[in-house]
Chains A and B, each alone.
Chain A
Amino acid sequence: MVRPADEINRFEQIASEVFEPLQRYLLRRASRQDAEDALSEVLLTVWRRLEDIPQDRALPWCYGVARRTLANQRRGQRRGLRLVEKLHSEPIRHHVDLSVGDGDPDLEAALQSLDGADREILRLWAWEQLEPREIATVMGLTVNAATLRLSRARKRLAEQLSRQDSRPAGHKRVKGTKEHRDE
């Protein structure tokens, strides 16, 4: 089966739109090699499933495919190491070091203290700059569920931050100082 010209155009269009943001998405969450493998796989999925891609949400749709691809890779790697996988096993560690950038140890610590799903929702929100409707597409949730989960995750993060702020000075830095520094 050969794709007609308009479908090839659509693929090219989607590929141009998603190619760079997808690399960012993958490199935030995986090693370079895994990200490259996953990028190929996501593009192949786009090619195979052009008909299934929502017109206005191609990028979140691709993030969703990328998310599952990375999950499969991790599972494969874990199996390869003959680890017995259990439901409540340790979360897989991220390859991206959160301590890069200008540094915001309070926020990093608060983010790390959240559970994986909260952390991922917040990353999709702040790093991929997605709105709940798009987060819903990535995570296979209803828009209502995504809205609710984002709001809960933000609340939990804010609670963690204020808990840290209430610790004695000298142990943790005060939140405001770094924000000014970034200006």
Chain B
Amino acid sequence: MSDDLRDRLARLDPMSADVPVEPVTSETSRRLLEKVMSTQLKDRSASRRSTRSAWALPAAAVAALVIAIGGVIGLGISSDDGPTAATLELNAPAEDMMASCIMFSPEDLARVADIAFEGTVTSLNGSTVTLSVDTWFKGGDYTEVMLDAPLGMEALIGGIPFEAGSQYLISAQAGTVNYCGFSGPSTPEYRAAFQRAFGG
């Protein structure tokens, strides 16, 4: 029964194996791979910058278009295929999207956040951090949130030192999630500030 369903779904595949794609051995493909391999890896941040300019990657365009709100650092909200009832996905910024921080206050937190929750890290997988939500303070009812760092964990760790099993308070504004003191590891004081900000 289930295999029937899988086969039936597979027949809807618009890119099934009989649709040709560029073979890895073609001249175009070789050129692309050579270009990738000629990318310098001096240090991580330098290689990022050089590859961006060389390839005009979409990530660079995103970085340029993001507007940091009041100096708060942006995490784009990715609905990917549309938000689900259970999982919210948030993307970490490229490092060069990080701006200077403003002073933290519960009033400012309330002002810059339309999403706020406390969650426990359930997995750190590649560039993705998954949190199981313990408390929603504002703006959602998701049970799980995924934070995704398109350029790797460094970008996330640059803002918040995520560890599996630890609790974090995260705030976000539509299209922008906030670092710089507006999200971080849970402490009783910090939680109290979130509660004060959102009247919880």
Contacts and interface: CB of A to CB of B under 8 A. Distances in A.
Given A98-B12, A179-B8, A80 B65 contact: yes
Contacts of A16: 24
A167 interface: no
Nearest to A16: B24
A92 interface: yes
11 contacts: A15-B36, A24-B21, A38-B58, A44-B36, A68-B150, A73-B58, A85-B77, A87-B174, A118-B84, A125-B9, A141-B123
Contacts of B58: 34, 37-38, 41, 69, 72-73, 76
B47 to A, nearest CB: 6
3 nearest A-B pairs in the assembled complex, by CB-CB distance: A91-B82, A116-B81, A140-B128
Interface residues of B, number: 72
Interface of B: 2, 4-16, 19, 21-24, 29, 32-33, 36-37, 39-44, 47-48, 51, 55, 57-59, 61-62, 65-66, 76-89, 91, 115, 122-123, 125-128, 130, 139-140, 146, 148, 150, 152, 174-175
A126 B57 contact: no
Interface of A: 1-3, 8, 11-12, 15-16, 19-20, 23-24, 27-28, 34, 37-41, 43-44, 46-49, 52, 61, 64-65, 67-76, 79-80, 84-92, 94, 96-98, 100-102, 104, 107-108, 111, 115-120, 122-123, 125-127, 129, 136-137, 140-142, 154, 157-158, 179, 182
A92 B37 contact: no
B21 A140 contact: no
Contacts of B37: 3, 8, 11, 47
A104 B11 contact: yes
Given A44-B51, A49-B152, A119-B81, A140 B14 contact: no
A132 B78 CA distance: 23
A104 to B, nearest CB: 6
Given A85-B77, A85-B175, A12 B33 contact: yes
A7 to B, nearest CB: 10
A107 B190 CA distance: 49
